[in-house]
Amino acid sequence: MAGALDGKLALVTGASRGIGAATAIALAAQGAHVILTARTPKGLEEVEETIFNAGGAATIAPLDLTENESIGRLAGAIGERWQALDVMVLNAGMLGSLAAVPAIDAKEFARVLTLNVSAQAALIAAFDPMLRRSKGARVIGVTSSVGRKPRAYWGAYGASKAAFETLLGAYGDETSEISAIRTAIVDPGATRTQMRAKAYPGEDPASVKAPEVVADRIAALAIEGFTPGHFERVG
């Protein structure tokens, strides 16, 4: 499939459903070969089939980003086949339970931080060499408004997103003057996802925008480029 990202390689985490799946489909529609990763093989296979049926190209890589050495193995396998990574969308994340700060479960909080922060740092480190070999790498992180504006009962998730934004922003600041890597942070706003449904069980899903709206904006950023440290809220 020819498009603005023809010949480019993209990696999307959390690509089995929601914003990740829609973003992978949008990037493939622009010609990118998309590596799809998530814990759920069946969901990845469905996204891959959608991409193939539309004439696009994708490769699935089912894995748990929190497992020891899983990210290193993924980077090694991708690096054996491709020289450079042009687009990396850091979308995978865990909500955890909504609770007052004194009631946060320590073990669950550790799991949230492992996926939402530590695994993101590991992804950046593992793919940094491939990103540097791209003529114009784009690393786009998906965040939440609670990472910038604290909200009651969202302390654990909000803290993880604040840390993730700082991490990705620092990486962008470190690389913007010495490479073609550019980082951006996207806050999807209210979007029809399973995470949203878990956080707002009484909400009518039809009252919020579809994941495809966010995905189209992320794909546009990958194509258009952006200034270092870009941040935007969708919708």
pLDDT at residue number 235 = 82
pLDDT at residue number 225 = 84
Place of tokens 């604290």: 150
Distances (CA, A) of 22 to 97, 106, 173: 25, 33, 28
Architecture of domain 9-233: 3-Layer(aba) Sandwich (3.40)
Torsion of CA 51, 63, 74, 36, to 10 degrees: 10
Sheet (strand 9-13) strand order: 57-62, 33-38, 9-13, 87-90, 138-142, 182-187, 230-233
Candidates 18, 15, 8; CA nearest to 37 is: 15
Separation CA 53–CA 39 (nearest Å): 23
pLDDT at residue number 68 = 85
Separation CA 120–CA 116 (nearest Å): 6
Candidates 229, 173, 186; CA nearest to 19 is: 186
Handedness of CA 60, 66, 67, 72 (dihedral sign): positive
Distance of CA 77 to the CA centre of its chain: 19
Question: Catalytic pick from 153, 157, 171, 200?
Answer: 157
* Domain boundary assignment for the chain: 9-233
Secondary structure of residue 4 in the 3-state scheme: coil
Residues 6+ apart with CB under 8 A from 121: 167
pTM of the model: 0.96
Separation CA 165–CA 159 (nearest Å): 10
Residues pairing with 182 in the sheet: 138
Residues 6+ apart with CB under 8 A from 84: 9, 130, 131, 133, 134, 135, 137
| Entry field: residues in the chain | 235
Going from the first residue of the chain to its last (235 residues), give the mean pLDDT of each consecutive group of 10, the final group possibly shorter.
Answer: 89 98 98 97 98 98 94 97 98 97 98 98 98 97 97 98 98 96 97 93 94 97 91 93
153 in active site = no
The neighbour count for residue 206, using CB atoms within 10 Å, is 7
Candidates 140, 139, 141, 146; CA nearest to 189 is: 146
